[in-house]
Chain A
Amino acid sequence: MKPRWRKVIHDLLDNKGRTLLVVLSIAVGVFSIGVIAGAYQIIGTDLRASYSAVKPANIELRMAKNFDDDLLEMIRNRDGVADAEARRAFNIRVRTPGTEKWITLDMYVFDDFEENSINLLIPIEGQTIPEKREILLEQDVLDHIDTGVGRSLEFQLADGSTKIMPVVGIVQDIGGSAGDFLASPTSYVTKDTLPYLGQPELFNRAVVTVSERGDDIAHIRDMGAMLKDKVEKNDNLVVRMRFAETHKHPLADTIKAVLGILLAIGVLVVFLSSSLIANTLSALLNQHLRYIGVIKLVGGQRRQVFLMYLTLIMAFGVLALLIAVPLGGQGAYALASFAADKLHFNVLGYRIVPAAFIIQILVGLLVPLIAGLAPVRSGSRITVLHALSGGIADEEKQAKAGKERLPWFDWVQVKATRLLAKRGVHIPRPFVISLRNTFRRKSRLMLTLFTLTMGGAIFIAVFNVRVTLHDFMGVIENYFVADVTVDFDKPYRLDKVQQDVLKMDGVQHVEGWQFASAEMLDDNKHMIQNISLLAPPTDSRLVDPMMVSGRWLRVDDVRSLAISEGVLKYYPNLEPGDSLNLKIDGREEVWQVVGIFKFMDREGILGYAPFEYIAEINGLVNRSASYRVVTDRHDRHYQDAKAEELDKYLRDRGYQVRLAEAGRASLDKALESLDILVTLLLIMAVLTAIVGSMGLTGTMGMNVLERTREIGIMRAIGADDRAVMRTVIAEGVFVGMISFGLAIILSIPFTYVLASIVSQAVFQSPIPIIFTYMGYAIWLGMVLALSALASILPARNAARLTIREVLAYE
């Protein structure tokens, strides 16, 4: 091998710490890009593949009344319908025999499991086709209850009686649960099991696939409207419809948006690691000046020197790729699997994603190349004289003492110390050394501060985003203030329920609510979208809305409506006071919008309407099937206990309770899924913080290396190990503190940007931004710890130097 390449190899291997630092800093960037690009690709294709593989329904029609095969036949025979299946869906309470805790399952009844061709069930364990009085469980159920194939479950019917059925299989239902974070876990039985569970052998739901243009959501909506029309002409009522494309998971856009945010942070990590690389490489070139001088002295030309160091950089990149590419692939798969688990789809197996692979290689080679180009260029341009100065340019070196002017920054520092001293503030000199050392390598300091500050600002911003999301969920919670929600299978008189429930210990308040579904119409009386109408008593204490404009409902309101912000998507110019055409209970009516409130758009288009009017429409004057209960304590635990208690209490009094649930139950679930997102963001933030602290470690290492002679002087005049280490660590911590100050400022715009992107992706609406001291406090602790840690190693090295080595007499 040619000696110049020999030198490159030695440069790579002789200083392993430095090589490791550079390689790791490249690797962190390559890794994070690899994970996210890979996951993006895997999730994208596998979500699509595993979703479309189960033949997902394009249209789901939920009917108000039960129906039989005739109606299904009618739907199936419409033009443009490929297939249709009927389902019966109801809630049922279940527990493992011998245990106390009941949970609520969504029970789906298939007409014929063998003929199932829409929303296919994927076998996980045991059977996929249950016999009479046997049950299949969606795998999610196992997270909530201790059971398994071959074991039995105890079911509680509306009348309070219990039934036992064996679990014969665990399945995965990708189509059925897609797009609904808040859905209960599901289970499946045959139609002939229905009488056993006290249910009629009739259906209340239809799932439909279209025969063409299955990826045209507008066409699917048109088909849905047409089917609804037909169903309603057949004397049934469609209360809710859901539409989905054949090849696109309902949450695909949200997932892509979230991955997009992660990708942006990943790109930032690469960017930060590149500044770390630039820092290390310019220090390396600095240390190598003498060698470059020698190479040029013996005939080396600029291009040769340039190529040697460029090769060194490429070698760093290749080493980083060797570490980061396999890890990134694994990480991508792990992230995709994690998402798959949460979103109920399947990953098609581990594989190398070519696009991610190529991106990683490009990042791993190009980023260090670009970062190193400037230092290598200037390094290779150095003249022999300059490079060897000290050895040969004695005369010139003499000029160093006796300078007339100081750089302004040094002057300011000295001046500031003097001013303080005049006011009686004397800073101990070892600390003065730390402070002034901090600013000696200004461009290096800048790059270090940049990486550390960015890491910190993102870290803090993620915490702010977290409270922002939680706070907004708190806003949403204000629409569901009740501690326990009780739904009955049939309506009961308001005063009777109130009388009974209020007798129970700890219950402070009860109110009955009404619900209705309406269609919003355009000027030509065509349906635009369904709207769910909630009707609490007008004086309800259980809704604390966050108004965007207008007002809330008043007692004297009749056909008045407060709408969620999401409605504006369909009526962009709608303002309080405007009228809105609704089709409700088959009649077209003109309602007045009195106010617009904030809500999560994803969870639907909502309107609040006066109780009395809706009660009249529902034919339930003074009666309701749904009640909200306020108890004397509001924590989740107490709510759960009270729900349990209420359930038993009401059943004992002969009520047919369908569901009694803690008020926070569904909210907590939503928070849980938000926290997953926050966790992913936090992982990225920690990665940036790691890059930042690696930058600091590198900088402190280089600083110490360049100041060995000064450390020798310090030792010679009486500095012991601790004094030397203190000086170095104080400098590191000081850099950390500066970056903390900058991160505080930078975190503000970061919070705004990150929060608005996340809220757009998750809620599809902007949300108010909240700041928390938490992120600042944690980052302060972290940056102190990181900067101290980052300087301990260099400080120890500094303390280990013996003076003889350091002062190297010649």
Chain B
Amino acid sequence: MSAARLSLHNSSNGSTLVELLNVVKVYSTAAGEFTALDGISLQAGRGEFVGIIGKSGAGKSTLLNMITGVDRLTSGEVLVNANGSPVSIHKMSEDSIALWRGKTLGVVYQSFQLLPMLTIVENITLPMDLCGRFNPKQSRQRALELLRLVEIEAHADKLPSQISGGQQQRVAIARALANDPPILVADEPTGSLDSVTAEHIFEVFEHLVGDLGKTIIMVTHDQTLAPRFTRTLRIADGELLQPESETETIE
């Protein structure tokens, strides 16, 4: 994969990029209160590929929503240090989070979440447009390069419905990289793909971490992936089982 011409900053310098401090999330439902996250603290450094493994209902998606700022936490703090000074994202307004997220953090979901009415390349230029990072001409150029990176530039002008699930997930990854964020967050990105396709997608993530220095936080229920992360955390009932337990680093 050639990233030479593409401006993707190698952000790997080992310092702490994401830090969660005693994050608690409580949902109130008709049936009563439900604690989804019970005091989670963790750190992710630049260039790490962090895997969070847990069963469904363990709180892993909620944890991810805390990092992306999609959901509000009940207590605690999430600090993201993308450009020198840590930002406490839950102190920002909904709108500021959206803009911040667009520039700092790419999100990939199990169900792709592409806009069906836009072509592949438009889906990727959309975040650039919304965050005003690149002008329209640059945007298309950059989008095509990103598509090349995930190896589906041939489908650039197709609609999402015209390509397979694995291809859609590649587009979603390219979109997550649109504004060149240092962090990628993925929620079961291979969950709805067959094993061969899932392997391809995982390789793309590994390439992003290994060759481009991106930081990736991925949640999954797939135990077999554990050895392939640079660090694996296990979550159950809203708590981390082995907080900060270092596992073998691939590189």
Contact = CB atoms under 8 A, between A and B. Distances in A.
B109 A299 contact: no
Interface in B185-235: 187, 192
Of the listed residues B61, B94, B130, the one surrounded by the most CB atoms of chain A closer than 10 A to its CB is B130
Contacts of A3: 118, 122-123, 125-126, 129, 139
A115 interface: no
B122 A6 contact: yes
A298 interface: yes
A295 B101 CA distance: 11
Given A3-B129, A295-B130, A403-B30, A394 B56 contact: yes
Nearest to A404: B30
Contacts of A11: 117
A87 B89 CA distance: 95
A400 B98 CA distance: 28
A76 interface: no
A602 B176 CA distance: 78
A399 B70 contact: no
A10 interface: yes
B118 A298 contact: no
B107 interface: yes
B98 to A, nearest CB: 5
Contact of B71 (A2, A294, A303, A393): A393
Interface string A274-302: 00000000000000001101111111111
Contacts of A354: none
A301 B57 CA distance: 30
Interface in A293-329: 293-304
Contact of B102 (A10, A298, A404): A298
Contacts of A385: 65, 70-71
Contact of A392 (B27, B65, B99): B65
Interface string A1-18: 111101100110010000
Contacts of A396: 27, 29
B127 interface: yes
A395 B98 contact: no
B59 interface: yes
B136 A2 contact: yes
Contacts of A399: 27, 29-31, 34
Contact of B130 (A304, A404, A405): A304
Label chain A's interface by main secondary structure. Answer: helix
A402 interface: yes
A299 B130 contact: yes
Contacts of B251: none
A394 B65 contact: no
A288 to B, nearest CB: 10
B241 to A, nearest CB: 18
B6 interface: no
B111 A395 contact: no
B113 A301 contact: no
A395 B62 contact: yes
Given A300-B102, A385-B70, A394 B117 contact: no
B250 interface: no
Of the listed residues B57, B71, B95, B117, the one surrounded by the most CB atoms of chain A closer than 10 A to its CB is B117
Interface in B162-193: 175-176, 178-179, 187, 192
Contact of A300 (B34, B62, B130): B130
B36 interface: yes
Contact of A395 (B61, B118, B123, B129): B61
Nearest to A296: B98
A297 B107 contact: yes
A402 B31 CA distance: 8
Interface residues of A, number: 40
A405 B31 CA distance: 11
A384 B69 CA distance: 9
B21 interface: no
B95 A10 contact: no
B148 to A, nearest CB: 19
B131 interface: yes
B156 to A, nearest CB: 13
Nearest to A382: B94
A810 interface: yes
A300 B118 contact: no
A391 B110 contact: yes
Contacts of B3: none
B103 interface: yes
B115 interface: yes
A383 interface: yes
Contacts of B34: 395, 399
B22 to A, nearest CB: 20
A304 B125 CA distance: 15
A719 to B, nearest CB: 28
A620 interface: no
Of the listed residues A4, A383, A395, the one surrounded by the most CB atoms of chain B closer than 10 A to its CB is A395
A240 B109 CA distance: 91
A388 interface: yes
Of the listed residues A3, A290, A395, the one surrounded by the most CB atoms of chain B closer than 10 A to its CB is A3
Contact of B95 (A7, A302, A391, A392): A302
B90 to A, nearest CB: 13
Contacts of A810: 111, 192
A300 B113 contact: no
Interface string A378-414: 0000011100100111111011001111000000000
Contact of A298 (B59, B61, B122, B175): B175
Interface in A237-290: 290
Nearest to B27: A396
A391 B179 contact: no
Nearest to A304: B130
Nearest to B132: A299
Contact of B94 (A302, A394, A403): A302
For the complex of A and B, the 8 pairs showing the least CB-CB separation, nearest first, are: A299-B102, A10-B117, A298-B127, A399-B29, A3-B122, A3-B126, A299-B131, A300-B130
17 contacts: A4-B126, A7-B115, A294-B114, A297-B68, A297-B70, A298-B107, A299-B99, A299-B130, A300-B126, A301-B130, A303-B95, A385-B65, A391-B109, A393-B65, A393-B71, A395-B59, A395-B62
Interface of A: 1-4, 6-7, 10-11, 14, 290-291, 293-304, 383-385, 388, 391-396, 398-399, 402-405, 810
Given A298-B101, A398-B57, 12 more contacts: A2-B136, A7-B118, A7-B126, A294-B114, A295-B115, A298-B107, A299-B131, A301-B130, A392-B70, A393-B65, A395-B36, A405-B30
